Structure 1
Amino acid sequence: MALHFTTGEFENRRNRLIERMKEENLDALLLFAQESMYWLTGYDTFGYCFFQTLIVKSDGTMTLLTRSADLRQARQTSNIENITIWVDRLNADPTLDLKNLLSEMDLLGAKIGIEYDTHGMTGRVAKLLDNQLATFCQISDASYLVSGLRLVKSAEEVVYAKRAGELADDALDAALPLIRAGGNEAAILAAMQGAVFAGGGDYPANEFIIGSGQDALLCRYKAGRRTLEEKDQLTLEWAGVSAHYHAAMMRTIVIGTPDFRQKELYSASYENIIAIEEVLRPGKTFGDVFDTHARIMDERGLTRHRLNACGYSVGARFSPSWMEHQMFHAGNTQEILPDMTLFVHMIIMDSDSGTAMTLGQTYLTTTDAPISLSRHKLDLIAV
């Protein structure tokens, strides 16, 4: 068994979950989010692309229902003792296997919470599950119960978050010598991901974002590579990853001499992040962070060019996204607490002039001022 955390850490997490379940009067919880299973037990797989669920009873009993391909994976990477296999076959309905298993666990008529809002739950599975359990038990949406517990990081988790920050810095260090006129995005991307791997890190939960020229205005990954020109711009968004814990960063790098618009957008991005550092403290909310972002951008006449969010919580995540549910957007009442890992990003995409500017890094919150997990400064990078 290979676990990244101590027995005491896992016991504390399970006890916190049981306490929350009792507050919600839940007899059991069906976990479909891989990050929930990982946080609670250490279970590490991409087998969640198929049907699987971890059943957690209010007495702390846990049973994993999964496919045969993940049996050894669960035994090797988790502390789960009870593992049941559903069999791949023509017209298989694993939700029926699940209902039978819940019956064996004496949960007929129980109140059961379900993680619906996760990439580990397809629409088809949700329909099948609801159909099977409609008359079997009382079901409720418990999509954010575990994710809420995961927002505040333990001391053991912070170790991985800080290491992820170091790996993100290493990736930028590896990229910078290659960013020049004639440099190719393929080599830059390979160097960045290679630096994370060489440092003992993992694949990110989503692809690194790289784009130059007009593609620098995109904030999603796409296929295709480009060679940098004498006068160019390169947008990068990436993350260091350690034991699935992410520390993201973002930069738009100027190739050649920055023009007035690039400097103007950088100034707005920098001012914004410095202002947000004053807000990223206990007593404030995620909505307060966004309000600061929106105010500064709007005062500078950049309303049309900014996004409707300026960051989010990060932690241990699985593909297809390293973003947590809690984002910095309007009206989010989630309070900022100590020991959260929060990615703050400024993304300004001026399609009128074809100018991109981004700036971002991950912070660890404290009882006072936040701590950047990056050793790099927020200076405009021009090469």
Structure 2
Amino acid sequence: MTDLNIHFSREEFAHRQYQVRESLEAQSLDGALLFKIEDMYWLTGYDSDGFSIFGCMFIGTGGQLIHLARPADLGNAAYSSICEDVRIAPDSEKTSRAGQIKEMLTSSGMQGKKVGIQVDTMGLTPRLFLQIQEELGDWCDLIVIPDFIRELRLVKSPQELSYMRKAGEIMDITLNKAIEATFAGAFEGDIYASFYDSLFQLDADLPAHIPPLGSGKSALNLRYTTGRKHVLENDQVTLELGVAYRHYHAACMCVVLTGPKINERHLKMHETSVIALDAVQSILRPGTTVGEIYDTYKGTLENNDEKDAVLTVCGYTMGAAWPPTWMEQPMIYEGNTLVLEENMSFFTHMILNDRGNGLSMAVAEQAIITNGAPEIITHVPREPIIKH
């Protein structure tokens, strides 16, 4: 098997698998069924969006590592994964996914053993989970496991950080292209086109969800909505953009204002957003809790008369992600006790929506946690972006 299409060394994959098996043993488990594509990629390099239909991996403490994949995903497995034991899960009325999983576990000697199952993932539907429970019954001890592999992935390796920095470099370039394409009279579709054109030319991956981009009323939408329109004079255009490199994400967010008239309220909202982002970034250091980041964000907005704009989340961690979202836990919300460590990465967004007046403003950047000041890997202007 060639390593041509693998983006990490075999030694790094082996260390990750060792960490997972060590954790399984600590939980008194003999193995685990995995359905989260981000974890499969981290463990083996497996690169496919086929998880949206079906895909499963088994990792055992005895050294077992098995892909269970539909025939349509066999090419992706051979192209991208170091896992050499790939089982075919055909689509047929004559067999069930739960039965195919039991057959895989049987060959791994799991009858009567403690088998973990990963449920905090979009790769496992509630229906399939219930079918697996029914199929395995008393055949083995099926145990729902915590999302511990995601926790292992929080602290990034040097290679992962290099991909995130590359994503950040590309993000800065594509943001500038999108800003250049934003002006009164521009079609929102053309702004999107400038972003995606630059993204592909720079060897980036599509982001895991469609970046929200909107003008006028839709500038307040924090999720993608269908229907393009033209930017008007005296308008607002929200750009929440993200790119990925080898699936590792970097994002940013800002609002472009068109003239000739600029609302003073917009300028005050921008000033507060910048103050809040600077305050949050100043405490992105090892030892700070995620909850303390949120408290800083909330307190800054309240101290600048923006209490009504406070959201319940002001960011989240970033890493390798697949659709439908680039957002990963932990999110930055009140009371979150997770402690920052060196080589984690967080996207922090200072979003102010004045729904009463229909105004939106935001600044957001991504950072890598270091042993000192954070390394900012995406950058937005600190001055208001005004296009006359």
Q: Which TM class, normalised by the smaller chain length?
A: over 0.9
Partner of 2:346: 342
- For residues 197-212 of structure 1, the aligned pairs below 5 Å read 197-212=200-215
- 1:109–1:136 contact (8 Å) kept in structure 2: yes
How well do the aligned residues superpose, as a CA RMSD in angstroms? 1.3
Whole-angstrom distance in 2 between the partners of 1:297 and 1:50 = 43
- Which of 157, 160, 164 does residue 161 from structure 1 map onto? 164
- Residue 374 of structure 1 deviates from its aligned partner by 2.1
Deviations 1:37-86 (A, max 9, x none): 00100000011011221000013320011111111210110101001112
1:277 maps onto 2:287 in alignment: no
- Residue 143 of structure 1 deviates from its aligned partner by 4.5
Whole-angstrom distance in 1 between the partners of 2:250 and 2:25 = 33
- 1:112–1:138 contact (8 Å) kept in structure 2: yes
Whole-angstrom distance in 2 between the partners of 1:344 and 1:336 = 14
1:221 is matched by which residue type in structure 2?
A: Y
- For residues 205-220 of structure 1, the aligned pairs below 5 Å read 205-220=208-223
Partner of 1:353: 357
- For residues 14-29 of structure 1, the aligned pairs below 5 Å read 14-29=17-32
TM-score, normalised via structure 1 length: 0.97
Moved more, 256-265 or 64-73: 256-265
Deviations 1:106-146 (A, max 9, x none): 11122222111111111211111222223122222224111
- 2:317–2:329 contact (8 Å) kept in structure 1: yes
1:248 maps onto 2:271 in alignment: no
Partner of 2:371: 367
- For residues 1-383 of structure 1, the aligned pairs below 5 Å read 1=2, 2-90=5-93, 92-256=95-259, 257-383=261-387
- 2:64–2:108 contact (8 Å) kept in structure 1: no
Whole-angstrom distance in 2 between the partners of 1:16 and 1:281 = 25
1:93 is matched by which residue type in structure 2?
A: S
How many aligned residue pairs are there? Answer: 383
Deviations 1:144-178 (A, max 9, x none): 11100110100010110000001111111211221
- Residue 296 of structure 1 deviates from its aligned partner by 1.4
Whole-angstrom distance in 2 between the partners of 1:89 and 1:286 = 46
- 1:14–1:60 contact (8 Å) kept in structure 2: no
1:188 is matched by which residue type in structure 2?
A: I
TM-score, normalised via structure 2 length: 0.96
| TM-aligned CA distance change 1:143 to 1:70, over 3 Å | farther
- 2:365–2:380 contact (8 Å) kept in structure 1: no
Q: Identity percentage over the alignment?
A: 33
- 1:166–1:240 contact (8 Å) kept in structure 2: no
Moved more, 84-93 or 258-267: 84-93
Question: Does the residue aligned with 1:318 lie in a helix, a strand or coil?
Answer: coil
